[in-house]
Structure 1
């Protein structure tokens, strides 16, 4: 018979909690392995976690182990982990009780040989080149004669002494040294910070802002120069607003900063030679140019003087220059008198033509036309006024007939109609009166002009008009025959006379002076209206 499930089955096996089992396994693993070096390929690396720790895996073709780098250790690493990189990790094996996994806590990491470093460097170079950091189009030109040079290097090495000595020999300028480590774990971070620090300096500040930056280091192995292959260094060099010369290692050594810099120098001394020209050569060149300038100026002045002398010989004398103007002046002065006489005659002829146009007969004709026009307009105005009154009266009568059923309204309408009619009549009369006034004023002005032009105004100054028997004016004594009857008109009347043989008028019968009356066909004042 099978034992019941409720029966207690005593056993000799000890009971452990989960935590006890996990702790025992952890101690066993740590005691068995301690510190180890594990070679494998980094897999699943996504950069540091928000906490600062890094989590990834190390694998080969058959197995996989979890790895962790604590935040304090990660900041001190000489080589940072990258996805797919084969590395040798040094640390201790332990377990993680929360998921029953074992893992390696890495304390140091390095690429698995020079081949791995070169592969990492080549992969990093291709990636940065794809971003355009190494393009020639974005590189700046070096200043020809910088006033301040910034040098990023170790202050204790031979490199800075070579640079300072070479600059002093060629062209002494102000040099600012930013001390950095050129080898080791913090090299890349210090170099990139130095480049950014030079770019943050303000022009005219307490520390002069460099016109040129030199990043220099002596030769060494790939591992020694690895800090200058840091991605941060390459980006800082490519983003520098100040032109930058890379002088890292020997001529055969290439780092990422060499590709990102504006210029690469084979050696630190070569960088100093690129940075500044030779002062003695500049002085000699300036002296040669000055001598050439003086010679050119002398030759130009000599040519100008020769040309000036030739022009002076070609200039005419003062008499020959003034001969033609003098001749023209003489001819003009000789013709001036004739021109004045001719011009006066032309002016007199034009004046006579204008005077003939404003004769008394023409003015009388114009006045008659104005009178006729005025009379016609007055008649038309009167007729228009009558027609308007008739229309108003008819309109009032029609309205009166329409509103016959409403006496009160009819009376008001009729009253308003009569008022409008009276007002229109008054306005029409005023308009006719104003028009007549304007016409009278215009006619009075014309009459005054006629009076001023009439010969009768001349008689008042002591002149007289002589007429023959046919009442024609006589202007010459030779036109009067002896014994002819003539009439003489004065300002206050006329007298008759007989002409004697000596062409003198003899008074035959003295008549009382009578006022002159206008005869038909003769001009007179008459009634202006």
Structure 2
């Protein structure tokens, strides 16, 4: 059997560490040795900020990989947003993560690895958006000539908004709406896109007026400073804006992607204000010039018209000349009127004489004889026609009688009896239906009449007061029943006479009745009230 190893021989003077102690020592060593480093690498595994606001990704090159983290406070200060595959230079410090025995860099500042990388990314994004048609010239709309409200998307504390406001005030004062945004940093793109969409979401005629024109403006800066206006969300918001938009980013030499998507690019924010509104003084001067030209033209037109009217009036004939021929014709007609009247009277007398000669007694006797001969001729023709008609009817009757043999009569009688029975059954059904319908209608009418019968109301305790001298007239007003007035009260089972006394104290206009002695014995079926 082999002997057990000698435990004493394995003892050493090396210090013992716990895992936590060793991890803490490594953490302090790494952080003290690499408290400020600049690392160049390509961003890998970037998925955007976490729900907590922190961002986790890695920096890599062709041989190694380094985990990286950007805390939320540092994320808001980055000049541009990290993107997958972008080569950057990260500034920060190294630290370890004891929970998984890893080390990582905590990034405090991030910049692209040279302008070439950013320009390559910018060119790639520009080609992508241009292929979608967002920069097409036919999509751009004309700017309104004189907007009433101008919306400005910029920083509220910079010099840009002051320049725009002063320039618009000098040229043409109008209503300005400012949507405050950050014009640099991580949230710049999202805020500018939200501002453009927010202005478009305003309703016309609402509490906040809807702008007729938008200006997106920022002062000059480096490519990194202007990077937020190259954001894809900003470009899409500018291209999809229903309100015409002017882009005024940076100086004249600075170009961003929003400049391509906007309806108009201004070289500077001041230039955007000049493009947005015209000069009011120039408009006033132009209107004054047009007004002067209009007045001069009207005066010249009126003078030319006056001269034309004067020339035409000289060419027109005078009133005497116009009336000369009508006067001559009137005189000729008046001179021939007496002679024409005498000729007409003579012709009428001659016509009446000829008509009277034709109306002599002998001629009238001849006409009467002629008409009597015509009447006898017509009478003869009518009698002959009547004899022929009676002969034809007699022949037809004889044929019908000959056809009415006993067998034919029996057959036709049976058919007639069958039709008569059918008609009788239909008549009986129709009579029963009509009788039932009229009975129902009579019952409904009787019910309505019963409901309107005043005697039914009397059965419920009501009474009718009538004038004894005019029993058909009811008394409906207490004012008609003066003290001592005799009246009749009709109840459900008969009538009684009563007399009115003075009104009660609580009801001044009401009447109080008491029994009055009848002046003469009441008729049968009547008595006194009470």
- The TM-score normalised by the length of structure 1 is 0.57
Spell out, residue by residue over 1:350-408, the C-alpha distance to the aligned partner (whole angstroms, 9 max, x if none): 999x999x9556745654564355335423432332233123213212xx2467xxxxx
Give 2:293's aligned residue. Answer: 292
Once the 2 structures are TM-superposed, how far is the Cα of residue 150 of structure 1 from its aligned partner?
Answer: 2.1
For residue 383 of structure 1, the aligned residue among 387, 391, 396 is 391
Structure having the higher Rg = 1
Give 1:320's aligned residue. Answer: 321
Q: Verify the 8 A CA contact 1:218 1:268 in the aligned structure 2.
A: yes
Q: How does 1:11-410 map to 2 (within 5 A)?
A: 37=39, 39-40=41-42, 79-80=80-81, 85-86=86-87, 111-330=112-331, 334=336, 337=341, 360=368, 363-364=371-372, 367-368=375-376, 370-372=378-380, 374-397=382-405, 400-401=406-407, 409=410
Q: How does 1:456-471 map to 2 (within 5 A)?
A: none
2: CA distance, partners of 1:248 / 1:299: 53
Question: Are the structure 2 counterparts of residues 413 and 384 from structure 1 closer, same or farther at C-alpha, using a change threshold of 3 Å?
Answer: farther
Q: Which runs of 5 or more residues in structure 1 are unaligned? A: 1-22, 404-408, 417-529
Once the 2 structures are TM-superposed, how far is the Cα of residue 143 of structure 1 from its aligned partner?
Answer: 2.2
Question: Are the structure 2 counterparts of residues 187 and 396 from structure 1 closer, same or farther at C-alpha, using a change threshold of 3 Å?
Answer: same
Give 2:514's aligned residue. Answer: none
2: CA distance, partners of 1:121 / 1:201: 32
1: CA distance, partners of 2:343 / 2:105: 125
2: CA distance, partners of 1:309 / 1:120: 82
Question: Are the structure 2 counterparts of residues 310 and 402 from structure 1 closer, same or farther at C-alpha, using a change threshold of 3 Å?
Answer: closer
Q: Verify the 8 A CA contact 2:216 2:248 in the aligned structure 1.
A: yes
Once the 2 structures are TM-superposed, how far is the Cα of residue 330 of structure 1 from its aligned partner?
Answer: 4.8
- The TM-score normalised by the length of structure 2 is 0.57
Q: Verify the 8 A CA contact 1:86 1:111 in the aligned structure 2.
A: yes
Q: Which runs of 5 or more residues in structure 2 are unaligned? A: 1-18, 418-530
- SS of aligned partner of 1:118: helix
Q: Verify the 8 A CA contact 1:41 1:86 in the aligned structure 2.
A: yes
Spell out, residue by residue over 1:147-171, the C-alpha distance to the aligned partner (whole angstroms, 9 max, x if none): 3322222222222222222222222
RMSD: 5.1
2: CA distance, partners of 1:350 / 1:220: 126
Q: Verify the 8 A CA contact 2:89 2:110 in the aligned structure 1.
A: yes
Q: Verify the 8 A CA contact 2:79 2:185 in the aligned structure 1.
A: yes
Q: Verify the 8 A CA contact 2:89 2:113 in the aligned structure 1.
A: yes
Once the 2 structures are TM-superposed, how far is the Cα of residue 274 of structure 1 from its aligned partner?
Answer: 1.2
1: CA distance, partners of 2:225 / 2:74: 21
2: CA distance, partners of 1:101 / 1:368: 151
Q: Verify the 8 A CA contact 2:44 2:58 in the aligned structure 1.
A: yes
1: CA distance, partners of 2:85 / 2:282: 54
- SS of aligned partner of 1:259: helix
Question: Are the structure 2 counterparts of residues 402 and 112 from structure 1 closer, same or farther at C-alpha, using a change threshold of 3 Å?
Answer: same
Spell out, residue by residue over 1:58-90, the C-alpha distance to the aligned partner (whole angstroms, 9 max, x if none): 776678899999999999976455565445678
1: CA distance, partners of 2:199 / 2:216: 12
Spell out, residue by residue over 1:229-281, the C-alpha distance to the aligned partner (whole angstroms, 9 max, x if none): 11222222222222221111011111111112121111111111112222222
Q: Verify the 8 A CA contact 2:79 2:225 in the aligned structure 1.
A: no
Once the 2 structures are TM-superposed, how far is the Cα of residue 319 of structure 1 from its aligned partner?
Answer: 1.9
Once the 2 structures are TM-superposed, how far is the Cα of residue 113 of structure 1 from its aligned partner?
Answer: 3.1
Question: Are the structure 2 counterparts of residues 402 and 272 from structure 1 closer, same or farther at C-alpha, using a change threshold of 3 Å?
Answer: closer
Question: Are the structure 2 counterparts of residues 297 and 392 from structure 1 closer, same or farther at C-alpha, using a change threshold of 3 Å?
Answer: same
Once the 2 structures are TM-superposed, how far is the Cα of residue 318 of structure 1 from its aligned partner?
Answer: 1.4
Spell out, residue by residue over 1:394-434, the C-alpha distance to the aligned partner (whole angstroms, 9 max, x if none): 3212xx2467xxxxx46946999xxxxxxxxxxxxxxxxxx
2: CA distance, partners of 1:225 / 1:401: 123
Q: Verify the 8 A CA contact 1:149 1:175 in the aligned structure 2.
A: yes
- SS of aligned partner of 1:240: coil
2: CA distance, partners of 1:365 / 1:47: 130
- SS of aligned partner of 2:255: coil
Q: Verify the 8 A CA contact 1:89 1:106 in the aligned structure 2.
A: no
Q: Verify the 8 A CA contact 1:166 1:273 in the aligned structure 2.
A: yes
- SS of aligned partner of 2:404: helix
Spell out, residue by residue over 1:167-186, the C-alpha distance to the aligned partner (whole angstroms, 9 max, x if none): 22222223232222111111
Spell out, residue by residue over 1:315-369, the C-alpha distance to the aligned partner (whole angstroms, 9 max, x if none): 22112222333344455664774896699699989999x999x955674565456
Q: Verify the 8 A CA contact 1:38 1:90 in the aligned structure 2.
A: no
Give 2:525's aligned residue. Answer: none
